[in-house]
Amino acid sequence: MNAQLSEPMISSQRALSAQAMAFASVGNVAVGFDILGHSVAGAGDRAVVRRIDEPTVRIAAIHGSSHELPMDAARNTAGAALLSLRRALGLQHGFEVELHKGIALGSGMGGSAASCVAALVAANALLERPLPREALYSFALDGETVASGSRHGDNLGPMLLGGLVLATRDRLLRLPVPEAWHCALVHPHVVLETRRSRAVLADGFALSEVVAQHANLALVLTGCHRGDATLVREGLKDVLVEPRRAPLVPGFSRVKQAALDNAAMGASISGGGPSVFGWYERREDAERAASAMAAAFAEEGIASDTLVSPINGPAATLVDEEVE
Amino acid sequence: MNAQLSEPMISSQRALSAQAMAFASVGNVAVGFDILGHSVAGAGDRAVVRRIDEPTVRIAAIHGSSHELPMDAARNTAGAALLSLRRALGLQHGFEVELHKGIALGSGMGGSAASCVAALVAANALLERPLPREALYSFALDGETVASGSRHGDNLGPMLLGGLVLATRDRLLRLPVPEAWHCALVHPHVVLETRRSRAVLADGFALSEVVAQHANLALVLTGCHRGDATLVREGLKDVLVEPRRAPLVPGFSRVKQAALDNAAMGASISGGGPSVFGWYERREDAERAASAMAAAFAEEGIASDTLVSPINGPAATLVDEEVE
């Protein structure tokens, strides 16, 4: 048996079906474009995965999405991840997947990544020797690439491991964060596709911008390692990407100001947007901020949902099928 | 008295002269352009500073430099730093400075920064209430800007505090590094001016390069915080600046290979070059590497000096005037 198992074994060979939930996430976290993210409690995608005899991967159903999502496994984020898992392990059997979307696509909260991770965590539990979470990362990246056209793990990483995660091409590292620190995440009901929010980044970046962002990243990482909010407060500013993306998010500057006015360590766009997040030293501040941010969107005539979560948010988890 | 004093007080008001030594440094450290550096034992600049009644700063003499250096205080790195100190503290008296250069200018080892820091540390000891080291940083930046045309603290920071230092515009943070880790630093006897090595960075950087470098920076910082050489080994690669500067350093690829062939965690150009450094887990490896790197320069017909130092190198220090 693998000593690093993070999954409970589903009892014996007879388990043919498992269900997992992967939670939302804040991507980029202002200073770590494509490499830094944290999970967020309170919303998630569920995947029910069944082991099937045919050597293939099938998407059986997708519930709860207002978008038309690909049912062709190779073009579906969850399907592509399971195909990659099958290939890498040389599995004889296949998988059938049913997805229950709880995170809106194009929200900047990792909607595609969550389906991918939930499906992998469920499928992994059906293996004779489930892999450690880190070992699922490369399959998840294969799935994410299908959805976003870019191989980045800042949503996948925190969903797999929980909390704040540094996700490079080859590796996931969970970073320490004080338990008391919370995030306010507000999702306005406007759609912004990841591909569109990437297009505004096509031009080059000046050295001065890059150096300023490096310094901010270093301050945030050091602040998290030391549990020092002063350092995070100094560094949690996106000078590279936010200025280019802010015009794509209606009402952004007003919402960001609302986040900052409530004692935020910093605030920016989550992932490709349009969701906006702020980081707080205390849950109460995050709760007040979430209301103020939603009110700011409302002033622009935009409805929104809010989430308040520890930055040490939950990892994806197996759930009882009875929940179904 | 200031509780954070890091200088011993020179006894009573009557001390009119102090001498300080600031050591060489590795700038940029591959992944932290302009913000990350560490000090290096074995070479340094000395400054003798005298308190004078005239409300001015004078450069009395500069010894040991093959270059013509500015004797006009406002255009000299040490002079400009002391002028800035005088102005900020509203001092009635002035300073006279004598510099003894031990670090070659245009070497990439912080030659101008060392004169600046040595002068500040000596002058600080002559104040009625010496400032903590961190408080000298902004004056040092004023001096460095005169010398290099760019306000960056990756040499100044480690010289002021010792060891590996994150130097942002406003702040210095000493980062933990295992005591056993060493650096090999090889200085070829060719001159490369900081301004020239900055000119090649004028063009913009692609997002993919920036993200790769971010990831490397995050790996190195996390590796240092954890004392995990595997992470540093993965991250200590400059994908942003080194490719553009390498053609300015004769024999660079051969010298870098020699550094890597001796178990380096990583190797790159120090500061603006032409010096080349490698990081090692053990002193023995750094010593073997330094010889191999010097041999590689020799094969190109270039003489060089080598230094081997803990990455936790020394901070600038007051020295007895009898050394004079």
Angle between helices A283-299 and A252-261 (to 10 degrees): 150
* Residue of B169, B203, B218 with shortest CB distance to A217: B218
Nearest CA in chain B to A151: B208
Judging contacts by C-beta atoms under 8 Å, the chain A residues touching residue B173 are: 219, 222, 231
Residues of chain A whose beta carbon is less than 8 angstroms from a beta carbon of chain B are 32-36, 152, 166, 168-171, 173, 175, 201-207, 210-211, 213-215, 217-219, 221-222, 225, 231, 234-235, 240
pLDDT tens digits along B143-172: 999 988 889 999 999 999 999 999 999 999
Region A189-205 average pLDDT: 82
* Residue of B173, B204, B207 with shortest CB distance to A222: B173
Judging contacts by C-beta atoms under 8 Å, the chain A residues touching residue B35 are: 211, 214-215, 218
State residue B297 phi and psi, 5-degree precision.
-65, -40
Q: Which domains does chain A have, with CATH numbers?
A: 17-173 (3.30.230.10), 176-310 (3.30.70.890)
Q: Is B12 exposed, middle or buried (0-12, 13-18, 19+ CB in 10 A)?
A: exposed
Query: What percent of chain B stands above pLDDT 70?
Result: 94
**Residue B122 pLDDT > 70, yes or no?**
yes
| Nearest one of B167, B162, B118, B161 to B143, comparing CA atoms | B118
pLDDT for residue B149:
83
Sequence-distant (6+) residues with CB within 8 A of B266 are: B30, B232, B233, B235, B236, B237, B260, B278, B279
Nearest CA in chain B to A176: B222
* Residue of A169, A175, A219 with shortest CB distance to B168: A219
Specify the DSSP class assigned to residue A152: -
pLDDT for residue A193:
65
Inter-chain residue contact B221 with A222, CB threshold 8 Å: yes
Rounded CA-CA distance B225/B208 in Å is 26
pLDDT tens digits along A57-67: 999 999 998 77
Rounded CA-CA distance B37/B35 in Å is 7
Specify the DSSP class assigned to residue B149: S
For residue B68, name the pLDDT band (cuts at 50, 70, 90): confident
pLDDT tens digits along B14-36: 579 999 999 999 999 999 999 99
| Nearest one of B94, B120, B259 to B183, comparing CA atoms | B259
- Locate B46 and state its tokens: 């000395």
pLDDT for residue A310:
98
Give the count of beta carbons closer than 10 Å to the beta carbon of residue B3.
5
| Nearest one of A217, A166, A222 to B231, comparing CA atoms | A166
Judging contacts by C-beta atoms under 8 Å, the chain A residues touching residue B172 are: none
Region A181-199 average pLDDT: 86
Judging contacts by C-beta atoms under 8 Å, the chain A residues touching residue B174 are: none
* Residue of A34, A168, A206 with shortest CB distance to B219: A168
**Residue A7 pLDDT > 60, yes or no?**
no
pLDDT for residue A203:
86
Helix residue ranges, H only, chain A: 77-89, 111-125, 137-148, 156-161, 194-199, 207-226, 229-235, 242-245, 252-261, 283-299
Rounded CA-CA distance A244/B309 in Å is 43
Q: Which of A173-187, A308-322, B163-177, B274-288 has the lowest mean pLDDT?
A: A308-322
Q: Taking a C-beta distance cutoff of 8 angstroms, is the pair A216, A237 a contact?
A: yes
* Residue of B34, B203, B218 with shortest CB distance to A166: B218
Q: Establish whether A109 is an annotated binding residue.
A: yes
pLDDT tens digits along A287-319: 999 999 999 999 999 999 999 999 999 999 999
| Residues of chain B by 3-state class (helix, strand, coil), percent to 5 | 40, 25, 40
What is the greatest pairwise CA distance in chain A?
A: 59
Judging contacts by C-beta atoms under 8 Å, the chain A residues touching residue B33 are: 207, 210-211, 214
pLDDT, chain A, mean: 93
pLDDT tens digits along B167-198: 999 999 999 999 999 999 999 999 776 677 77
Enclosing H/E stretch for A33? none
Give the count of beta carbons closer than 10 Å to the beta carbon of residue B288.
18
Inter-chain residue contact A234 with B204, CB threshold 8 Å: no
pLDDT, chain B, mean: 93
* Residue of B170, B202, B221 with shortest CB distance to A221: B221
What is the greatest pairwise CA distance in chain B?
A: 59
pLDDT for residue A15:
78
pLDDT for residue A324:
42
For residue A191, name the pLDDT band (cuts at 50, 70, 90): confident
Q: Are β-strands A94-100 and A36-52 bridged in parallel, bridged antiparallel, or unpaired?
A: antiparallel
Sequence-distant (6+) residues with CB within 8 A of A71 are: A59, A62
Enclosing H/E stretch for A190? none
Closest chain A C-alpha to B125 CA, distance in angstroms: 29
Judging contacts by C-beta atoms under 8 Å, the chain A residues touching residue B221 are: 218, 221-222
- Locate B223 and state its tokens: 């590796």
Rounded CA-CA distance B47/B240 in Å is 35
Query: What percent of chain A stands above pLDDT 90?
Result: 86
For residue B5, name the pLDDT band (cuts at 50, 70, 90): very low
Q: Which of A130-134, A199-203, B50-54 has the lowest mean pLDDT?
A: A199-203
Strand partners, A205: B205
Q: Are β-strands B57-63 and B94-100 bridged in parallel, bridged antiparallel, or unpaired?
A: parallel
**Residue A322 pLDDT > 70, yes or no?**
no
Judging contacts by C-beta atoms under 8 Å, the chain B residues touching residue A175 are: 222
Closest chain B C-alpha to A85 CA, distance in angstroms: 25
| ipTM, two decimals | 0.92
Region B33-56 average pLDDT: 97
**Residue A1 pLDDT > 50, yes or no?**
no
Q: Tell me the binding residues of B for ATP.
A: 104-114
